[in-house]
Amino acid sequence: MESETIISKQFYAGGDISSEVISPSIFKINNNSTKKHIERPKSIFGFMVLAATFLVLIAGSLLVLQFQPDFDQLHLERLNSTGGIIFLAITVALFLFKGGMFLYNVFLYLKYKPIESVSDELLPTCTVIVPAYNEGKLVYETLMSLAESDFPAHKLELLAIDDGSKDDTWYWIQQAKLKLGDRVSIFQQPQNKGKRHALYRGFNLGKGEIFVTVDSDSIVKKDTLRNLVSPFVVDEKCGAVAGNVQVLNNEKAILPKMLNVSFVMSFEFMRSAESSLGSVLCTPGALAAYKRTAVFACLPEWIDQTFMGQPSDIGEDRAMTNMILKQGHHVLFQRNAYVLTNVPEDYTGLYKMFIRWGRSNVRENIMMAKYVWKDFRKESKVGARLLYTEQFIRILMTYPFFIFMFYFIATHPLLFISSALLGILLVSSFSVLFYAKRYSLGEAFWAYSYSVFYTFSLFWIAPYSIITVHKKGWLTRG
């Protein structure tokens, strides 16, 4: 069977592409299948990381067998105490709820189908807003990829907004203007006011029926825009659409390799399930589309949003999604609308990104609680309420789990480590199988490495995000 290979340089024709900026991530599209494969480089270090992961997980599983009498004794001790029985009851209840939600999500995933692109005549007018801060030449590549989209030129408006960058971002935006001419309009904020304010300016300037927001470190495929906005034509109740985010800089470090598998689970599994309910909880900043009327219905509230008396300077994407859901609109996911985006390559950048996401998640769950139990839409609200309940329980149980974990480590360290490793092996196997089915088996094994890494080095993110939820700051910006 013949296959078509599209490298990132071929996402768009024209424009000088710097290999130093854009990693040659490769899309292979099988003409007889909807599966798309991203080739990843092989390295000795990467192989060593994977090999070490398997050794650790296998060792942990063997230790569980070795310590089986100790596990049995611990179980008996719990059954012989009131506190132990209560603990087991709560654990079983949570397990049944989580297991039920997992099976429900599998059902919803199998039910999900992306909406195919509509014809050029039916496509709505579209304003693409690219806010940029200290992105350097990558913003140029982002604008080039958008300009070469397979989208009617007379229906596409492209806005680039420099948010008071301190590097050469404005220079590269100007270079894009020289290259694209009237196809792009460029603006410069007098000072850095944050991504939300840059988007706000774009919303007020844009003339399109649909607003598309794209991060300035992201590259879209040629058919991404038309696939992203087609749901607004097919579903008149659609208020927002989330794109399918994958990792751009996967060749540069181990962490991006791990994150790419995690992103596939987060988007292609979880958001597919949420989309079947019309209730995607977060449209990503890397690529999202919003109906103009839905945006302006909440724009004053969105730009003036505060938390604990402080202006909100994070979570603008989750906040916009929440406010559009609150209006009763459907929020969908388009698996066929691909975007490649940069992710942190070191531990510091990664945990700062997760802290920002964690704080936003807590804030917006509080906001969602104000409307999710009300009559916010005419259709069934059960699915949206189940999704919210799962997130609420996860936040609610963060500190009890955190305390139990340290108690378990203090009293039975070997039992904790061995059971944690066995749990990772079992739970992460679904991610491995899912990624292998959608993409490739070799890269799927990074799900194990990511789970080990997250469990033992990023476990503190959730409790820290909750206790510092009031704090401001993007964290990863220079």
Mean pLDDT of 353-375: 97
Check residues 8 and 165 and name the one with the higher pLDDT. 165
Average pLDDT score over the chain: 91
236 within 8 A of 294, measured Cβ to Cβ: no
- Tokens matching residue 473: 């700051």
Q: pLDDT of 434-465, one tens digit each?
A: 999 999 998 999 999 999 999 999 999 999 99
What is the per-residue pLDDT for 473?
A: 85
Above 70 in pLDDT, residue 248?
Answer: yes
pLDDT for residue 478? 54
Mean pLDDT of the region 362-372: 97
Helix ranges, 412-438 (H): 413-438
Average pLDDT of 195-217? 97
For position 381, what pLDDT does the model report? 96
Helix pair angle (254-264, 413-438), 10° resolution: 70
Determine contact, residues 125/207, Cβ cutoff 8 Å.
Answer: yes
Whether the full predicted model's pTM is greater than 0.75, yes or no, is yes
Segment 54-73 shows an average pLDDT of 96
Strands (E), 14-155: 26-30, 36-39, 126-132
pLDDT of residue 477: 65
DSSP-derived letter for residue 270 is: I
Query: C-alpha distances in angstroms, 264 versus 101, 439, 458?
Result: 19, 10, 19
State pLDDT tens for residues 286-332.
999 999 999 999 999 999 999 999 999 999 999 999 999 999 999 99
pLDDT of residue 358: 97
pLDDT at 147: 96
The DSSP symbol for 37 reads E
184, 118, 115, 193: which is closest to 151 by C-alpha? 118
The first and second tokens of residue 393, run together, are: 């329980």
The pLDDT score that the predictor gives to residue 354 is 97
Closest by alpha carbon to 127, among 155, 163, 162? Answer: 155
> Which pLDDT score is estimated for 42?
59
Position 67 pLDDT exceeds 80: yes
- Inter-CA distances, 438 with 6, 30, 47, 124, 381, Å: 17, 12, 22, 31, 30
From the list 170, 155, 167, 143, the residue with the least C-alpha distance to 119 is: 155
Please report which helix (H) or strand (E) contains residue 454, including its range: helix 446-457
Token pair, residue 79, equals: 């059954």
The string of pLDDT tens digits covering residues 78-135 is 889 998 899 999 999 999 999 999 999 999 999 999 999 999 999 999 999 999 999 9
Q: Which two tokens stand for residue 136?
A: 């350097």
- Model confidence band, residue 252 (pLDDT cutoffs 50, 70, 90): confident
Say how far apart CA 43 and CA 213 lie, in whole Å. 35
Distance CA 289, CA 307 (A): 25
The count of other CB atoms within 10 Å of the CB of residue 228 is 32
User: What is the percent of the chain with per-residue pLDDT over 90, rounded to a whole number?
Assistant: 86
Percent of the chain with pLDDT strictly greater than 70: 91
User: How far apart are the C-alpha atoms of 110 and 423, rounded to whole Å?
Assistant: 25
Determine the average pLDDT of the residues in 163-191: 96
CA-CA-CA-CA torsion for 408, 411, 417, 418, nearest 10 degrees?
Answer: -100
